[in-house]
Each structure stands twice: as C-alpha cells, then as structure tokens.
Structure 1
Amino acid sequence: MKHSILFFLTASVSITAVAHQPIMDMAPRWNGGYGIQTRVEHANSESTTWVEGVYTFKPSVRMTLKVPYVDGEMGNAIFAVPLKRYTNEGSLTYNWSITPSVRMPTDGGNDWDAGLSVSYSSETPGLYQLYDAYTLGNKTGIDINVGWSFPDGNGSSWFTLWDISAQDSDSGQRVLTGPVLVYFKRNVVMRAEYKVPAYDHDDEWQGNFINFGIGIVY
C-alpha cells in the first residue's frame, strides 16, 4: 500500500519535476559545473520534497538526477541527460534542448518509464522565456515561463515570470497557471511559484500548486 501511494504521488503530482531541469533551468553553464537543489511542492493536500543534482560536462551536455521523498520515504527517481545548443547574439542568449530521461523504480516497485523533453529558452537583459514540451510514461504536457528579468550588473538578477502548465494523462487533462519569482545571486538560486487550475478535468488532481526551491552551483 505504501509503495502504491508513493507511486501515485511521484508519478502524478509534479509538472515541475518533469519539465524543468536543475538548477532552476538556468545553471551551471560552464565546463565541469555542478550543483544541487532542493524543492518542496504542495499539491493534492500532500507535500513532496525533491533533492536534485546536475553535472555539466560542457554547456551542451549535462546529466541530472531528481529524487522525491514523501513522508520520509523515497519515491521514483528521474535520471536525464539534457543536450543543449547555445547561441549568443549580442545581448540575446538562447538554446534548444533535447532531454531523454528515465524514471526508475527506486521506491521498490518494478515499473520503468521512458521520457523525452524538447525545449527552447531565451534571455535578454529584460526578458526571459522558456517553452518545454515533454512526455514521461503516460503523461504528455507543455510548460511555458515568460516574464521580465532585472539584472543588477553585479551578478544578481530578479525574474518575475508567468507560468502556464498543461498536462494530459490517463486520468484526464489539466491546465495550471500562476506567478513565479526567481532570484539569482552569484552561485545561489531561489524559486517560488503558485499556480491555480484554469482547466481541471483530471481525476487525480485537486486544488492549487505551491513550489519553493533553493539551489547552489559551483
């Protein structure tokens, strides 16, 4: 029974776990860079803590691992290999990314799930955009972040974004939307988001979504 509850939570709750990559989709972008972040999500009257890590072999090749914990028990971990192509054009930086992934039965079950994400993101001194289409197991979705960035010129930036997350699965369809705040200071990144259902025909979903995370990169 415990394993079935863990599978339900880690497989159905988190769009953020599937669509986004540590650290907060933004770092590290240098050879040999690595980082760790932790996030706490609250949805469906339950809280899930994620511990996530990334290693950047070079800006175009990374590997990530995301491990969820519910009530102190490990859920199903997600391993991924983001492959990115960066382009710099003056003040504009953008990248295309293809990310194959696998969800492993680290909760003691037997089910393995393959996934794939295709994303585009861009950033200027004033505007940030991220578009991510993904599939994992029986779930397919798209996540969009668009908003303003406010760099101070001294290694710190604020981002005020709007998020739209849509997902289709065997249990139905849903669209969540809401504000996101991101703060980047040197090697520390923090992200907070709050989303409400704009469309909810998903039998496994109820209520709003809250996420707060902090990451450190080296």
Structure 2
Amino acid sequence: MNLRFSLPIQSLAIAFAALWLVHGARAQETIALDEAQKIAQKLGDVPSTFSDQAFAIDVDRDKPVGLKGGEAGLIVLPDKRLTTDTLTNAGKTVTPVAQLWTYKVTLAKSGTPVEKTRLRTITVGDGDKTRDVQLFLIGVVKTEQGAPELVIYGKGGDPVLHVPLSKLHEIKQDLPIQLSGRQTGDASATLTLDLVGQFSADVGVVKAEE
C-alpha cells in the first residue's frame, strides 16, 4: 500500500523533471543548487521515518543534489553528519549517508530492477493530481573483510542493494555528495555518487515500469 502525503504538484514538476534514459536524448542535467534547495525544503516536510527502517537520515536541506532531463529524475538529500571522518570510521553498524528520492526511475542490480515489493512508494500531490515517488535510504558499512560498501534500503530492514565503495584520489567538491550519470542502454544508466571527495560508488538505474 502506498503512503500518501500532500505536496503541491508544481513542486513535483520541478523536483522530478528528470534523468534522461531514452536513446538519443541529450545528456542528463544537474539541477541548479538554488532549485534543488527549494525541492529539498518541500521533500523534507514529507514524513519519512517508518517503523521498519534500519536507520534514519537527518537531512541537510541546504546541500541537496539532483539530476533532471525528461519525465523521470532523482534527488539526493545528504545526512547532516556526513563527513570524511564518519565514512572513514564506519563499522558494521550502518552509518547514515543520504535519502534518495526517485521518480519514474528505480534502482537495479545487473540491469534487473528492485522488486516492487521492496520499494517504499510515497504518493505526493495536491488534490486529484498526484505522483508516486520512491524513497531509498543510503548508508555505509564495513564488510567482514573490512572494505567499505554502500547499503541501500527500500522497504523493510534489509538492504535492496550492496554497492562497493572505491577510494578516490582526494578531490575537491563543494557539496558532500556529487552526482553524475552515463547511459548504458535504451532504458538504463549508471549513477555515480562521489562522497565527500574521498569515495565513489556506481549504482544501476533503469526506467520504472508504468
């Protein structure tokens, strides 16, 4: 069952303007920071703590990042506590990283989308005009071998994806999380998340089924 919350539909038109996944479309476009901040303020008002989730994100509404481009899209709201130290010192307990909101795209492993039963779908809108969006929680843990990895949660207390983290040669970035994407098929892409200029992870995304 979808959860439903009131959010002006005009905000959604801006919030999920989109990530291009169609063959021949122009490259994806980063949402301008001031625009992303307006979106983050509105999404931050949507209740996003649930009894079955493994951890909570204390979102930083001033430092969001998103991609747009067609009729689908995504935006990431980082945790206020996300720093180089919190990632470096992550252990076997999940360290919160960010919320990921998606519209008309979903996460995938080896090209296969996350099962619908594992998606946390939230219906937001105004009156009879609504949109279904998915909310994912992103964290970091250390594996048994001591390697850091992203763990991404949808609905429930178990991750829907485990994604290895690669160490970057230290780079300067203005925001805690930087996003980029590249098309890998007619309806698929790879989303790259650079975290605090120190770590990077590649996450598969595919066009969501209608």
Structures share fold, TM-score greater than 0.5: no
- Considering fraction of residues, name the structure with more strand: 1
TM-score w.r.t. the length of structure 2 is 0.35
The structure whose RCO (Cα within 8 Å, separation 6+) is larger is 2
- Considering fraction of residues, name the structure with more helix: 2
